[in-house]
Amino acid sequence: MSIRLIVGLGNPGPRYARTRHNVGAVWLESLAARFGIGLAEQARFRGLIGCGDILGRQVRLLFPTTYVNLSGDAVGAVARFYKIESRGILVAYDEVAFPPGTCRLKTGGGHNGHNGLKSVIAALGNDRDFARLRIGVGHPGAADDMVAYLTGVRMPTAEREVVDRGSSVSDEVLALVLDGELQRAMNVFHAPPAEANGPESTER
């Protein structure tokens, strides 16, 4: 099934703009800028939303303006209004299981303790079949430090640059994702640098 809605998770407001918990939102904003898609507040959807052409496909982009743990409120509202099935959704978010610079595509699965994903799954009627872009941000080392690590401090510039490079998605991969060819997209995106098209300096 083709992807009709791309969601970037994060917390609203300048306080959280460059924290690790917002890498999904930053990725979405970058995608919107890349394809000239404006994002505008729509109160009924509880988020910033835009629609436009990405590589010849009409796609909606959404940044929930709730806090991360209520992201499903926005995702569920948009999915219901536009009749988008779970398999037609891609969610980009921070992944503490991966170091900065590592990024993985995935389809289906649980929330692995991520409250934003937990909210999205619940809002979609416990349907977990949506695609995910897991953007590595590293782990603080202790569970008690997790909240401060994700939301309390901004990423250092060098780390942010590594994350941005690692989460860069080529037109080839993006087209495959949008067409619902997730396995083929994973094969290309996850290929070691020597096998990928063109030189890459960051692990994915």
Positions marked catalytic: 21
CA–CA dist 22, 16 (Å, integer) = 7
Beta strands 47-54 and 57-64 are: antiparallel
Place of tokens 């037609």: 88
Place of tokens 């970037």: 8
**For residue 41, with 0-12 CB atoms within 10 Å meaning exposed, 13-18 middle and 19 or more buried, which class applies?**
exposed
CA–CA dist 46, 82 (Å, integer) = 15
